[in-house]
Amino acid sequence: MNNPILVTGAGKRVGFHIASRLKQDGYEVLAHYRTETDDVQKLKQLDIQTIQADLQDTASIMEFIDKLQQFSPAYRGIVHNASAFTPTADDLVEAAEQYQHFFTIHMLAPFLINQALSKLLKGPGNDPADIIHITDINVENPTPRFDIYGTTKAGLHNLTLVSAKKLAPQIKVNSVAPGPVLFTESHTQEARQKMLSETPLAREGGAEPVYLAIKSLLENPFITGATIPVDGGRRLSKA
């Protein structure tokens, strides 16, 4: 068996698409999920190995890392897709709890997993292995209503840059920054139309362009510390 690529947050939406497309393109995949979903069952039907973990605190992250170390002696790469996305709470106590949760998912978990698995990451042949962080164009063009989300994703972006320096030359570390690829239930019809009006390509991108950006990074052995925006140009908007 080839060394697997770990995809976190693969139980639905973009993460599910990434895991299934990697498998389709011949990669071995270990798909992490938090909650059992219909998409998790679909991953299993595609003969994709799955692993459950709720990355809610340091202890649970370390338990997950222990499972990963037992699952395989080597990994081809990691795609950090696990994410939390809600508007910032108005109540300060709720906002503080939200900040801690988003920090844990977006920053602490990737940092600890990268550190723990760095010695297990093996690229193809003489090429480096890959770590890919899924950030957001909010890093470059923040939305005030989602400031906790945006600032913790910005921390993940910075982790990309420092890790690219720290883990070279054995591992290359890059980011993919999606924009309006898949709307969520929190987006009203008015919000969707506004976002699309601010997007030069004027449409919802879908999950496939995110996967294509990931694939391009996996296949290019000479890119590290870079971010590929997958946003239809929305980061260029002043809004």
Q: For residues 53 and 34, is the Cβ–Cβ distance under 8 A?
A: yes
Computed over every residue of the chain, the mean pLDDT equals: 94
Count of CB atoms situated within 10 Å of the CB of 237: 15
Of 27, 33, 75, 149, the catalytic one is 149
27 catalytic? Reply is no
What pLDDT score was predicted for residue 237? 78
178 bridge partner residues: 230
- Range 5-236 has CATH code 3.40.50.720: yes
Q: By C-alpha distance, which of 123, 130, 138 is closest to 239?
A: 138
Q: For residues 171 and 131, is the Cβ–Cβ distance under 8 A?
A: yes
Give, in degrees to the nearest 5, the angle at Cα 11 between 9 and 13.
Answer: 85
What pLDDT score was predicted for residue 143? 86
Q: Could you report the per-residue pLDDT of 162-185, keeping only the tens digit for each?
A: 999 999 999 999 999 998 777 777
Can you give the residue ranges of every domain in the chain? Answer: 5-236
Q: Is 199 exposed, middle or buried (0-12, 13-18, 19+ CB in 10 A)?
A: buried
Q: Is the dihedral of CA 99, 100, 105, 111 positive or negative?
A: positive
User: Virtual CA dihedral for 86, 135, 106, 221, nearest 10 degrees?
Assistant: 160
- Give the number of residues written for the chain: 239
Token pair recorded at residue 7? 């995809």
Token pair recorded at residue 42? 């679909």
Q: Which positions of the chain have pLDDT values less than 70?
A: 1, 186, 238-239
Find the DSSP H helices in 35-124: 38-45, 58-71, 92-103, 109-117
Q: Could you report the per-residue pLDDT of 20-34, keeping only the tens digit for each?
A: 999 999 999 999 999
Residue type at 142? P
What pLDDT score was predicted for residue 238? 64
Q: Which pTM was predicted?
A: 0.95
What pLDDT score was predicted for residue 190? 80
